[in-house]
Amino acid sequence: METICYNENETTKDNENFQLYLKLAEAGNHIEQYNLGNCYQHGIETTKDEEKAFQWYLKSAEGGNLLGQNNLGSCYYNGIGTTKDEEKAFQWYLKSAEGENHSGQNNLGECYYYGNGKAFQWYLKSAEGGNLLGQNNLGSCYYNGIGTTKDEEKAFQWYLKSAEGENHSGQNNLGECYYYGNGVRKDEEKAFQWYLKSAEGGSHMGQYSLGYCYLHGIGTTKDEEKAFQWYLKSAEGGNITGQCNLGCCYQNGIGTTKDEEKAFLWYLKSAEGGNITGQCNLGCCYQNGIGTTKDEEKAFLWYLKSAEGGNLSGQNDLGYCYRHGIGTTKDEEKAFLWYLKSAEGGDHDGQCNLGYYYQNGIGTTKDEEKAFQWYLKSAEGGNITGQCNLGECYYYGIEVRKDKEKAFQWYLKSAEGGCNKGQANLGYCYQNGIGTIKDVEKAFQWYLKLAEGGNSDGQKKLGHCYRLGIGTTKDEEKTFQWYLKSAEGGNNSGQNSLGECYYYGTGVKKDDEKAFQWYLKSAEGGSHTGQYNLGYCYQNEIGTTLDEEKAFQWYSKSAEGGYHGGQNSLGYCYRNEIGILKIKKHQNKLKNRCHNCEELNLQNNACSNCELIEIPKWTSGNGEIDKIIQMTQSDDDAKEWEIWRWINYSKFKDIEYLAEGGFGSIWKAEWIDMPEELFEFYKPNHVALKKLKDSQEISSEFLKELKANFQCRDRYVLPILGITQDPMTKEYAIVLRYMKNGNLRDFLKQNKSLPWIERLWLLNSFIRGLEVIHSKGLIHRDLHPGNLMITEVYNNSKHKFVRLGDLGLCRFTNEISSSGAYGILPYIAPEVLNKYQYTQASDIYSVGIIMWFISTGKIPFAIRAYDQELAVDIFNGLRPKINRNTPQYYVELMEKCWHKDLTKRPNAKMIFDTSEKWIEELTYNDKTDHSLMFLNADQKMQDEDFELSSAETTHSGAYLISHPLPSLSHIQPSSILRFDIFLRSFESFALKFCNSELMEKCWHKDLTKRPNAKMIFDTSEKWIEELTYNDKTDHSLMFLNADQKMQDEDFELSSAETTHSGAYLISHPLPSLSHIQPSSILRFDVNKMNF
């Protein structure tokens, strides 16, 4: 609304020439003096001369002419021909007004309008006197409540009088009344007619208003070219609002050819003229380099002017500058305050941004309730981003009850309004049936609309639809084309998908180099999937040169972004030391001159020429130990942290007892002055001391162990750092790295719901250590969880692997032991129990039981004592019960490992290769049969809140450290028949539902009444045949009936088990069966065998 119109100087329409005015004025005619001043002011029949105009107005005014007094006031007010002086202007307007000059009264009213409340009275006098400007301005007073009570009807009436009197400002204001319905019924056609009169009469504001009507089709037919023409007239006439809108026409090509430079220039005129919208638009030009050089500092300053002037969009844009540090220092608190001003003023963009700040606690305290309220205001105001954000509030239940249907409705509004994110979310709703009926065809259509609109994310989604046939027919060529558009548009996800097309040859010829290039763009653009794929390329030489360090770096970025593939691959790199900055092998060990041959090739006290061992500065006091230590130091292949040292016991402090082992005690200590190369590699300087029982005198067996350990040094074998001797007890001690995470048993106890990929890593890493031992021709002979030490990978405590420890019982495969076996009973192979015959296959049996332990976290046969009875059962085929959710592929490998026939067990390399394949598939491809099975097992574990070792008790005889093992070599064959696997496995329901005659004959007190093995075999074979080929016999019906009863009663073989206190978990000496009479072990109650 145009509120105040400045004076349009009145002049007489006299046709007499300038010379006549001059003659009469010089003669003292005050009217002609006024007319002569008007001629000089406007250059009428003479050269324009504002100073002469001022002089003649002064003469006329001093002579009492009211018109001259009014115009003299205008000269002082506007600085025309004289120095600007508002006080003198006021005085001359006052004289003119008091003389009843209506123009003077109007101008005096204007002075009061900006100074005090008398404006209304002088406008009233002017208006009632018939002055058209006064009538217009009086209308503005009534409209705005200036000096009087606000009265839109009276405002309309005075505007009408002014307009009908042909005042063009009054005509424009009357048009505004009709447009907004102020003081009169809204009528856009009449509004247009009055704007037209005003514009044609030369009102620049009217010209602007008329252009606005043509642009939006208000009261007339929409005509962008006419809108442009009238904006141009208004702008050239100096109207700052018209200049702003003309800039918009040039910027957007409305009614004219697009010309951003002209847009910038008109915005500049408008902004410099004080138009706050023009200032905001000018800031936008500087921010984005539209029609001018990009200059963020100038952008910020113009946004600031606009914002301080009260422009709501400017306030919002200024908040954006503070938010992102555009042209100023980033300041989220100031950003919040400007968004708040904008939002409270009713700007819907500002309301949306304010909601975002409240939602995320940016620049203010997080308040999701306020966030929801501001999103609601913004959405109801038509802001499409606010509508989308409001939809997300309903979708996720942010300070409102989750409501997928309302979420869908707001996404729909947002999408129909053109919001890209809203269209994407709406497509997702249709695709997945969220808040609406699933309709993949509509999903496709919305993705198509988004894509055709040039949105790169929509193009990527559309490519995905063509790739998988979502809402359309599968089309690999179109898949490629849309991914290409998305990628070229800079979408990093689309770039990744395009890379996959080149990698797999989808819709285009396979090209690894192009795949690599697009993965690179995607990764550098921030796509975490792209970062993962780029790492994979570097790791596997796909389209580029092998570079494991770069692979590691990109996997790290992907993992930090939360992508599971990147996280798995990073773990794989850490565990396999791929691309990690490693401590390089010390190639230039200190060399000195040999005292014997005088060559400079003495290394670690050993000369490679003369094999002279230089007398060391240290000694253990035992020549054999000295030789072994020197052997490690002279080995050219040994790294600095692999060689052994004799460590004086005084170098240890804070020695603390930890536990008792099968062959000695374990202590923790701190190694003072640990060598730098060791400290750098192991950090910190804590070590474990394994004090060996009765080791005051070193045995040949102990020396064999030391040599075997050095031969098997590997990342996956627990390293020996050196040897020491307790000066008090004289016991020798092996110095080992202290493993703060404990052993496998401790670790699984603390990590009950470990994902399967982590469990596979545990298996994989300890098998690597075993493979090293077996490759050296050795047998470990004492594998169990207590000897598998959990280790953190170098520089990353998150990832763990297993180091194989305690090589005390290691022997070469060609060594035959005549002494008894040693270990923890459940982990010992049956053939070892029988004749103490160890082979590498015996170790594999132990692997099978450890696999079971990894899958369950439970102690095998925990409720039973580890005695002769259990030994007999194991020999006869007893194995731990397999958890029903264990992946079948894992079960099959485990059962092969613990197979009774040692020739059918896999070797260590086969187990490693299999587990490595599973890990790779889980890491790099989650769609294989193997990976899906393990992922499904993970999900079941979560669904059932599975805990590995819940509510477990342990038999007192279930020892956890190595013990001597019982021998079965003297037991008669008939004595083991009652442990028939079939009967024992189903003993619970057999006692209830089946014929138990055969089982009772087997455990009969009178051994002469027991059947022999062939009788049992023939009977069981007959039962199996009848169950297989004929289910109508008495026998088969009895067993089938038992099956049904077992299902009806939800039978589980070992449900709700507890653990006997004798079921030991660390290695103990085992009881021998060699001196027990066969008949004495046949009578125990079968109910004790609830395993």
The secondary structure of 713-771 as a DSSP string is --TTBPPEEEEEE-TTT--EEEEEE--TT-BHHHHHHH-TT--HHHHHHHHHHHHHHHH
Q: Read off the pLDDT of residues 513-544 as tens digits, 9 standing for 90 and up.
A: 999 999 999 999 999 999 999 999 999 999 99
User: Is residue 361 within 8 Å of 336, Cβ to Cβ?
Assistant: no
- HSE-up (13 A, CA, CB side) for residue 367: 11
Give the tokens for residue 318. Answer: 């200024």
Q: What is the pLDDT of residue 880?
A: 94
Q: Which residue has the tokens 């040693």?
A: 822
Nearest residue to 376 via CA among 355, 359, 397: 355
C-alpha 831/C-alpha 840 separation (Å) is 12
C-alpha 760/C-alpha 767 separation (Å) is 10
Q: What is the pLDDT of residue 615?
A: 44
Which sign, positive or negative, has the C-alpha torsion 418, 421, 423, 429? negative
User: Is residue 591 within 8 Å of 585, Cβ to Cβ?
Assistant: no
Angle (CA) 790-796-799 rounded to 5° is 45
Domains and CATH numbers, the chain: 366-380+394-576 (1.25.40.10), 618-738 (3.30.200.20), 747-976+1059-1075 (1.10.510.10), 977-1058+1076-1089 (no CATH)
Question: Between the CA atoms of 1004, 1007, 1009 and 1015, what dihedral angle is there, to the nearest 10 degrees?
Answer: 100
Which H or E run includes 446? Answer: helix 440-452
Q: Within its chain, how far is the Cα of 567 from the centroid?
A: 11
In this structure, the number of other CB atoms found within 10 A of the CB of residue 877 comes to 16
Q: What is the pLDDT of residue 948?
A: 45
Q: What is the pLDDT of residue 612?
A: 45
Q: What is the pLDDT of residue 892?
A: 95
Nearest residue to 986 via CA among 898, 1086, 886: 1086
The secondary structure of 1053-1080 as a DSSP string is TTTT----BB---EEBPPPP-TTS-GGG
Q: What is the pLDDT of residue 742?
A: 87
Q: What is the pLDDT of residue 377?
A: 97
Q: Within its chain, how far is the Cα of 366 from the centroid?
A: 20
C-alpha 842/C-alpha 898 separation (Å) is 9
Which phi and psi angles does 959 have, rounded to 5°?
Answer: -80, 150
Pairing of strands 788-793, 778-779: unpaired
Pairing of strands 1066-1067, 960-961: parallel
Nearest residue to 867 via CA among 782, 978, 958, 781: 958
Q: Is 176 helix (H, G, I), strand (E, B) or coil?
A: helix
Residues present in the chain in total: 1091
Which residues lie below 8 Å from residue 1049, measured CB to CB, with a gap of 6+? none
Report the DSSP beta bridge partners of residue 603.
591, 606
Q: What is the pLDDT of residue 407?
A: 96
Amino acid letter at 526? G
C-alpha 195/C-alpha 213 separation (Å) is 9
State yes or no: cis peptide before 684, omega within 30 of 0. Answer: yes
Q: What is the pLDDT of residue 630?
A: 84
C-alpha 730/C-alpha 1069 separation (Å) is 25
Which residues lie below 8 Å from residue 380, measured CB to CB, with a gap of 6+? none
Q: What is the pLDDT of residue 923?
A: 80
The secondary structure of 458-500 as a DSSP string is HHHHHHHHHHHTSSS---HHHHHHHHHHHHHTT-HHHHHHHHH
C-alpha 120/C-alpha 108 separation (Å) is 10
pTM over 0.75? The answer is no
Residues of the chain with pLDDT under 50: 1-15, 583-593, 595-596, 598, 600-602, 604, 612-615, 818, 946-950, 973-995, 1051-1056, 1073, 1076-1091
Which phi and psi angles does 720 have, rounded to 5°?
Answer: -90, 130
Q: Read off the pLDDT of residues 846-904 as tens digits, 9 standing for 90 and up.
A: 999 999 999 999 999 988 888 888 888 888 889 999 988 899 999 999 999 999 998 99
Q: What is the pLDDT of residue 714?
A: 80
Q: What is the pLDDT of residue 16?
A: 55
User: Is residue 842 within 8 Å of 835, Cβ to Cβ?
Assistant: no
Question: Using H for helix, E for strand and C for coil, what is the string for 116-169?
Answer: CCCHHHHHHHHHHCCCHHHHHHHHHHHHHCCCCCCCHHHHHHHHHHHHHCCCHH
Q: What is the pLDDT of residue 1027?
A: 74
